[in-house]
Amino acid sequence: MNTKEIKEIYDRYVIPNYIRNPILLVKGSGVDVWDAEGKRYLDLFSGWAVSLLGHCHPNVVAAIQSQAAKLQHAPNIYFTEPQGLLAKHISEKSFGGQCFFCNSGAEANEAAIKLARIHNSNTGKYKIITFSDSFHGRTIATVTATAQPKYHKGFAPLVEGFSYVPFNDLEALEKSIDDKTCAIMLEPIQGEGGINIASREFMQGIRRLCDEKGLLMILDEVQCGMGRSGKYFAYQHYDIEPDIMTLAKALGGGVAIGAMTAKKEIAKSLIPGSHASTFGGNPLACAAGVAVFETIEKEGLLDNVKKMGSYSIEQLKLLQKTHKIIKAVRGVGLMVGIELNVNGAEIIKNCIRAGLFLNCTHDTVIRFMPPLNVKKEHIDEGLNILTSILSKP
């Protein structure tokens, strides 16, 4: 089918809750994606940071193919090897906790919210504090946790027990904690909110407040985790450990999966019957996740993220010097934001037309999140396209 034919089917049969570019994608390999008419695109956005190893990494493909022919689904009343091995990878690369598996970022955060509440069910504490410009998902509880009014519009009444504080404002946070507060939840590097990096003082301050007041520190690493920051998890830049952490997006290297990991003494509050997910931890998705961890290790990708991340930021800062339209460049590893003085929607449209996938978030911030195995030549190619578009009057 061609683009026009599929578009007609969508117009008729698919709910129009997304603004879609008129492009029919048919295949991908590494940083390259092709449409039905054979046009090639350079993907330096990775579909919201999902395609962590590029499209169709051979190790991920092999893991899925082999697992698909063995066992695709098993109910969680049995054991499977991929789920156990993936939990081991997550735990050993983070803070030694235990994992619960689900299928998306929102579900992972929903699990974290439920765990924080059930863990405190004897204390009567239930309130959770989140931060301005955060993004935690689209279920009714996680959208309530998301402190951006535009995502709340039309969905009232929201869930009780959430309050919001300005990001990176430790003083305001301390004031807003009361005797019903049970947890503080944040992204160490805000993605949707415009690539905003938590300060060291803020992250360490939150840890200290949580320790002093007996609160849970929940980190949402759905977007910034899995090596994107140059360390396995973004919190590892701050010399602290959270109590609960959530993952999704990149965890399956392209396959739908989410996970929550929590310190053992907290995790045990999620007693049998208290929470579940039918597809959570299915062997197919977990086999992909195991392949992702093994590939990051085998290919030394954290090192590549550090190198390619510094190179990208350096080049973008040079571009900023000659292009007044760029207000700021900020990022950690390969999670980079280019803040413009104008709305970036039109610029992104032009990039896509010119064969480059990037994204604009929070109206003015271009998100640059190439796969972890990106090469200098891909970055150069992408920045050349971006430069020519930003240079047009």
Interface residues with ligand PLP (CB under 6 A) are: 48, 104-106, 109, 135-137, 187, 191-192, 220, 222-223, 248-249
Cβ-based nearer residue to ligand PLP, 245 or 326: 245
Residue number, 223 or 269, with CB nearest to ligand PLP = 223
Question: Which residue, 144 or 315, is less far from ligand PLP as judged by CB?
Answer: 144
**252 marked ligand binding residue:** no
Say how many C-beta atoms besides its own lie within 10 A of residue 360's C-beta. Answer: 21
User: Is 277 labelled as part of a ligand binding site?
Assistant: yes
The answer to whether residues 246 and 221 touch, using CB atoms and an 8 Å cutoff, is yes
Q: For residue 265, say whether it is annotated as part of any ligand binding site.
A: no
Helix ranges (H only) for the chain are 3-13, 46-49, 58-70, 81-93, 105-119, 140-145, 149-152, 170-176, 200-213, 264-267, 283-298, 301-322, 345-353, 376-391
Q: Which residue, 80 or 109, has its beta carbon nearer to ligand PLP?
A: 109
**Minimal distance in Å, beta carbon 245 to ligand PLP?**
11
For 11, 95, 124, 310, the CA distances from 315, given in Å and listed in that order, are: 41, 34, 52, 9
In the complex, the smallest distance separating the C-beta of residue 57 from ligand PLP, rounded to whole angstroms, is: 20
Nearest approach in angstroms of CB 283 to ligand PLP is 20
CB of 223 to ligand PLP, least distance (A): 3
Question: Smallest distance from the beta carbon of 251 to ligand PLP, in angstroms?
Answer: 10
Instruction: Judge whether 200 is annotated as a binding position.
Output: no
- 289 known ligand binder: no
On whether 192 is known to bind a ligand per the annotation, the reply is no
Shortest distance, position 104 Cβ to ligand PLP, whole Å: 3
Distance CA 209, CA 108 (A): 24
* Closest to 219 in 3D by CA, of 196, 195, 236, 194: 236
* Minimum CB distance to ligand PLP smaller for 133 or for 187: 187
Name the residue with the smallest CB distance to ligand PLP.
105
Do residues 48 and 40 lie in contact, with contact meaning Cβ atoms separated by under 8 Å? no
Q: Which two tokens stand for residue 111?
A: 């699990």
Q: What is each CA distance from 66 to 61, 72, 89, 230, 382, in whole angstroms?
A: 8, 10, 20, 30, 34
For ligand PLP, give the closer residue by CB, 191 or 382.
191
CA angle 227, 375, 383 (to 5 degrees): 100
Amino acid at the residue 286: C
Check the annotation: does 223 bind a ligand. Answer: yes
Return binding residues for pyridoxal 5'-phosphate: 105-106, 135, 220-223, 278
Return binding residues for N(2)-acetyl-L-ornithine: 138, 277
